[in-house]
Amino acid sequence: MIAFPANSQQVSLAKWMTSEADFSLTPMSQNISPSGTVRGVIIASPSRQDPDYYFHWIRDSALVMDTLLTLSPGASNQSPWLLQTFADYAAFSRELQLTTTLTGLGEPRFNVDGTAFNGPWARPQNDGPALRVLTVLHSIQRFHASTALLSTILQTDLRYILTNFQVPSFDLWEEVKGDHFYTRLVQMAALRAGLDHFDPGWNIPRQDLQTAITSLQNDLDLHWRSDKKYFSATLNRVEGAEAYKFTDLDTAVILGVLHANLDSDNFSVRDDRVLATASQLETVFLAIYNVNANTYSTPYPVAPAIGRYADDVYFGGNPWYITTSAFAELNYRLSLSLAKNKSYMITELNLPFLKKALALRSEANVIKLKTGVNLKGHPHLLKLLQQGLKARGDLFMARLRLHTPPEGAMAEQFERNDGHPVSARDLTWSYASFLSAFESRKALSK
């Protein structure tokens, strides 16, 4: 049984996406500095029990802020609001950097009064400072302005990354301690962005950045499992989730690629190893979630719902809004990337992913994808693939629509059997990832 077919039949997908994007801004802004919290707090969700997400997470807040900076100016007519929101985020971030915690800057979440959360938790989580670097640098680009405060935040986080990038930490799912593809990739992206914006006045040796980047690049390559044809999420596992997590195929890899947003071929949406990983994830989730069973009749075509990893048990192990949005965004971003840089080889690794996109074009039965072909020399095929990737992204958006109640609220997960929303309600990050996917779709028509 699918949760929300009735509402969904009425309007076109494009209309739904636009109204969902407009709607999202309201619950998101309600989760930013809500009354009773310190200014600059972004709560993960208003839910205070089962689960209690009434905290400021370094990861969630950086990703949410980053998405707000991405929104096309004017789209939400909120520029003064955005400036103020970012200023609050930056001031609060600096306070948190100066707060004494159990794991320094690796502390994953804080109380909403700005004090350290010292209860038991999976710590440290070393993706946080890296994501914050990327968000702060994004703001400097967006507002064409830097400040001494921002420069201090950047230096503090970059120094933390340099000191800790070889130290195992907990993953973004707060379950496993080890060396993670996600954490390493966002750290590498943060150091690279830091190097691009390097200020000789910084108290950081330039060469240290370069050395750490090279080392992380090599480490990231070690995650490629040529036998299994996917990027393994974690190497050198130390502890955590021993009782249930046995797979190493995890959507965290795709999230890492999107959040790092590299413009190189390696570890970007163009990397055929990334696309091989995505294809396999899709196959796995298609098989295990009842909402994906082909016996279900949906009111319109949809792509499979995507979760974190196959043996997830959190709230029963369900598809998530953020991971399903990520698959939409992956397709959109690859489409855009092919439009900008047409030189792209079809390989055995990216073939399954590209085939799914091409299958959505009616010409697909006459045109065959062959490995060893560079799209640069085949403009018609290139065009079809660009269109097919956009159409495929839309199918993931249609999937989200199917599990979003008429008023537009997005929780953390939707139940694997009947598709109704579960876990934390109004998860700030769910809205942000939907908006982020929608923005990348808009970039396609520019």
Q: What distance lies between CA 120 and its chain's CA centroid? A: 26
Residue 233 binding ligand NOJ, by CB under 6 A: no
Residue 57 binding ligand NOJ, by CB under 6 A: yes
Could you tell me which residues are beta bridge partners of residue 169?
178
Please tell me the count of residues contacting ligand NOJ according to CB under 6 A.
12
Residue 172 binding ligand NOJ, by CB under 6 A: yes
DSSP 319: B
Task: Give the separation between CA 115 and CA 98, rounded to whole angstroms.
Answer: 11
Residue 174 binding ligand NOJ, by CB under 6 A: yes
Pick from 21, 44, 213, 358 the residue near ligand NOJ by CB under 6 A: 44
Pick from 20, 127, 157, 175 the residue near ligand NOJ by CB under 6 A: 175
Task: Provide the minimum distance between the beta carbon of 111 and ligand NOJ in the complex, in angstroms, as a whole number.
Answer: 14
CA nearest neighbour of 272 among 219, 304, 309, 231: 231
Q: Taking CB under 6 A as the rule, which mask of x and - marks residues 330-369 in contact with ligand NOJ? A: ----------------------------------------
Task: Provide the minimum distance between the beta carbon of 174 and ligand NOJ in the complex, in angstroms, as a whole number.
Answer: 4
Ramachandran area for residue 316 (φ above 0: left; ψ -120 to 50: alpha; else beta): left
Please identify, among the stretches 167-175, 219-227, 268-276, 282-290, the one whose residues bind ligand NOJ according to the rule CB under 6 A.
167-175
Catalytic residue among 66, 88, 107, 171: 171
Residue closer to ligand NOJ (CB basis): 175 or 272: 175
Pick from 4, 20, 27, 59 the residue near ligand NOJ by CB under 6 A: 59
Contact 212, 184 (CB under 8 A): no
Residue 317 binding ligand NOJ, by CB under 6 A: no
Q: Taking CB under 6 A as the rule, which mask of x and - marks residues 390-429 in contact with ligand NOJ? A: ---------------------------------------x
Contact 432, 422 (CB under 8 A): no
Residue 60 binding ligand NOJ, by CB under 6 A: yes
Task: Give the separation between CA 279 and CA 263, rounded to whole angstroms.
Answer: 21
Per-residue HEC secondary structure of 258-309 comes to HHHCCCCCCCCCCCHHHHHHHHHHHHHHHHHCHHHCCCCCCCCCCCCCCECC
Please identify, among the stretches 53-61, 142-150, 333-341, 401-409, the one whose residues bind ligand NOJ according to the rule CB under 6 A.
53-61
Whether 329 sits among the annotated catalytic residues: the reply is no
Whether 311 sits among the annotated catalytic residues: the reply is no
Residue closer to ligand NOJ (CB basis): 60 or 415: 60
Contact 96, 110 (CB under 8 A): yes
Ramachandran area for residue 35 (φ above 0: left; ψ -120 to 50: alpha; else beta): beta
CA nearest neighbour of 6 among 402, 303, 297: 402
Residue 321 binding ligand NOJ, by CB under 6 A: no
Residue 434 binding ligand NOJ, by CB under 6 A: no
Residue closer to ligand NOJ (CB basis): 5 or 51: 51
Q: How many CB atoms lie within 10 A of CB 214?
A: 12
Contact 285, 392 (CB under 8 A): no
Task: Provide the minimum distance between the beta carbon of 53 and ligand NOJ in the complex, in angstroms, as a whole number.
Answer: 6
Contact 161, 184 (CB under 8 A): no
Task: Provide the minimum distance between the beta carbon of 106 and ligand NOJ in the complex, in angstroms, as a whole number.
Answer: 14
Please identify, among the stretches 141-149, 170-178, 222-230, 269-277, the one whose residues bind ligand NOJ according to the rule CB under 6 A.
170-178
Task: Provide the minimum distance between the beta carbon of 85 and ligand NOJ in the complex, in angstroms, as a whole number.
Answer: 19
Q: Is 50 exposed, middle or buried (0-12, 13-18, 19+ CB in 10 A)?
A: exposed
Task: Give the separation between CA 42 and CA 429, rounded to whole angstroms.
Answer: 10
User: Restricting to residues 112-151, which ones interact with ligand NOJ according to CB under 6 A?
Assistant: none
For the annotated catalytic residues, the residue numbers are 171, 174
Binding site for ligand NOJ (CB under 6 A): 44, 51, 53, 57, 59-60, 172-175, 314, 429
